[in-house]
Amino acid sequence: MLPRFFLPSSDPTGRGALPDDEATHLTRVLRLGVGAAIEVFDGRGGIWTAEVAEVSRHHAAVQLGAPVPAPAEPRVRLHLVVAALKGDKLDDVVRDAAMVGVHNIQVVVTQRSEVSLAALRRSGRADRWRRIAVASLKQCGRAVLPTVHAPVTLTQWAETAPTGLRLVMCEPAAGAGRRISEVPREDEVTLLVGPEGGWTPDELAMLSGMGGVAVQCGGLTLRADAAPLVGVSALCEGWQVW
Amino acid sequence: MLPRFFLPSSDPTGRGALPDDEATHLTRVLRLGVGAAIEVFDGRGGIWTAEVAEVSRHHAAVQLGAPVPAPAEPRVRLHLVVAALKGDKLDDVVRDAAMVGVHNIQVVVTQRSEVSLAALRRSGRADRWRRIAVASLKQCGRAVLPTVHAPVTLTQWAETAPTGLRLVMCEPAAGAGRRISEVPREDEVTLLVGPEGGWTPDELAMLSGMGGVAVQCGGLTLRADAAPLVGVSALCEGWQVW
């Protein structure tokens, strides 16, 4: 497999400069030179073979070649709303979500999140997650970069949340939920996953009031950082969308 | 939720001494004293409320109380055969597999595994994975401890492997596989997951010769350490066994 790079835009002749992180990866990590064969993706579904056209210490320009067929996206638009978790755990969540076809990733601070919105913003987490999403696409071969939104509180999310089907992953302790494949499939779905301590009763009531459907993946308490991957995998297989 | 401990055996009066690791967790980490209410599981499906009966520096004995209903196990027996991966990546694989209901975990050294059988054995990895499986059950509430076998080569596994349905997770680059839910459900299934570089053509031919069915979860290249969780989740939802 050719090394892959993210090239968000190119000029009409098919030439473009890699973003800084990508140029560094090409020149400093992989040490590729002019003429090296690579593959680039634009994050919007386009993939091309390409050739390194120009390199300097922190800069790399590439020339697009032929388009490459892109792997199919899931046949439903998947929005993931995931509670802020402790430490770096969301790094893995974002990486995995990008890998299994999630379109939008929204981190929300919930009542039981052990990290504040201010701390997330101060540490520039959203930018970090965007870089992780790019890295994940380079690995998994996906052509569509998920949008990683700036973190908000769950309440803020609820005020502007798009309508449509919402599946709320619940711990077994919170009462019985439906199996995801028992819920009729729609073209667009938001999957909500709580923090380490789960949703509070208030939050569950609010989400239920918004039409949220409680769902479960088995009767065990899933680790908060593994639950999104379990939920999306179950959804994609249960609804036969991958 | 009460703190949970692994108590593999107790005497006919319902009294038992915790294994060393568990006693340390009770006395040194949680600092529980005589009379503290806890929950114990025997790893074979039994869960009880219990009370700390005796503690000393490295020892803790407990007295069983009433049995507690155990969460349902998946309605198929799941065997996971997973290729040895670099570094500590299998730690997460084992932790996740225990959490989603796998019954047997067999690590195999494949042609593209970047770690040798000798290195795995020398470092006592299997014991480490068994401790991780116990820790995972304490967190997820499961009552049945998966068996973690000592690592072998894929060829050694093949020589003594139980018969029955085998699903071989394949990367998209290896050709088309079936969706798991398209494969008729059986009461027992072995899911095989390859290493970072995937299966070799020889290995795929051998597994296919053993009746292995190539399956896929979407068209993207899953990270080797995430693929088992994706596969088991897809299987449990697709076959409606959780």
A117: domain CATH number is 3.40.1280.10
Number of domains comprising chain B: 2
Residue A26's pLDDT is 96
Residues A96 and A157 in one domain: yes
Residues B89 and B185 in one domain: yes
pTM score of the predicted model: 0.95
Please name the residue of chain B whose CA is at the shortest distance from the CA of residue A135. Answer: B223
Residues A38 and A139 in one domain: no
Contact call for residues B194 and B224 (beta carbons, < 8 A): yes
| CB-facing half-sphere around the CA of A73: CA atoms within 13 A | 19
Exposure of B162 by Cβ count < 10 A (0-12 exposed, 13-18 middle, 19+ buried)?
exposed
Residue B57, domain CATH: 2.40.240.20
Residue B201 backbone phi and psi in degrees, to 5: -55, -40
Residue A174's pLDDT is 76
Residue B137 lies in a domain: yes
Instruction: Find the domain containing B124 and state its range.
Output: 77-238
Give the least confident one: A124-133, B49-58, B174-183: B174-183
Eight-class DSSP state of A205: H
Residue A52 lies in a domain: yes
Report the residue from A72, A139, A233 with minimal CB separation from B234. Answer: A233
Please name the residue of chain A whose CA is at the shortest distance from the CA of residue B142. Answer: A220
Band the pLDDT of A190: cuts 50, 70, 90: very high
Residue A72 lies in a domain: no
Band the pLDDT of B172: cuts 50, 70, 90: confident
Tell me the sheet residues that pair with B37: B51
Which of A36, A67, A98 is the last residue in one of the domains? A67
Residues B133 and B182 in one domain: yes
Band the pLDDT of A57: cuts 50, 70, 90: confident
CB contact under 8 A, A233 and B217: yes
Residues A59 and A81 in one domain: no
Residue A11's pLDDT is 95
Band the pLDDT of A175: cuts 50, 70, 90: confident
Residues A55 and A131 in one domain: no
Which of B21, B49, B67 is the last residue in one of the domains? B67
Residue B72 lies in a domain: no
Residue A137 lies in a domain: yes
Residue A231's pLDDT is 98
Give the least confident one: A169-178, B67-76, B184-193, B227-236: A169-178
- Mean pLDDT within B23-51: 96
Q: How close does chain B come to A99, measured CA to CA in Å?
A: 7
Q: Does B13 score more than 90 pLDDT?
A: yes
CA B162 to chain CA centroid, Å, is 18
Write down the mean pLDDT value for chain A.
Answer: 95
Which one of B178, B230, B239 makes the best mutation probe of the A interface by having the most chain A beta carbons within 10 Å?
Answer: B230
Residues A157 and A41 in one domain: no
Residue A218 lies in a domain: yes
Q: Does B15 score more than 80 pLDDT?
A: yes
Q: Does A74 score more than 80 pLDDT?
A: yes
Reported ipTM exceeds the 0.85 cut: yes
Band the pLDDT of B1: cuts 50, 70, 90: confident
- Alpha-carbon distance A238 to A242, whole Å? 10
Which one of A233, A235, A241 makes the best mutation probe of the B interface by having the most chain B beta carbons within 10 Å?
Answer: A233
Q: What is the pLDDT of residues B174-195, one digit of tens each?
A: 777 899 999 999 999 999 999 9
Eight-class DSSP state of A25: I
* The total number of residues written for chain B in this structure: 242
Interface of A with B in 10-49 (CB under 8 A): none
Q: At what angle do helices B89-99 and B227-238 cross, to 10 degrees?
A: 20
CB contact under 8 A, A220 and B140: yes
Residues B43 and B90 in one domain: no
Residues B218 and B167 in one domain: yes
Q: Does A163 score more than 90 pLDDT?
A: no
Q: Which helix (H) or strand (E) holds B52?
A: strand B47-56
Q: Does B71 score more than 80 pLDDT?
A: yes
Band the pLDDT of A9: cuts 50, 70, 90: very high
Contact call for residues B41 and B49 (beta carbons, < 8 A): no
Residue B202 lies in a domain: yes
Residue A171's pLDDT is 86
- Mean pLDDT within A224-240: 97
Residues B14 and B128 in one domain: no
Q: What percent of chain A has pLDDT over 90?
A: 94
- Alpha-carbon distance A8 to B100, whole Å? 38
Which of A16, A41, A67 is the last residue in one of the domains? A67
Band the pLDDT of A235: cuts 50, 70, 90: very high
Residues B124 and B18 in one domain: no
Residues B122 and B177 in one domain: yes
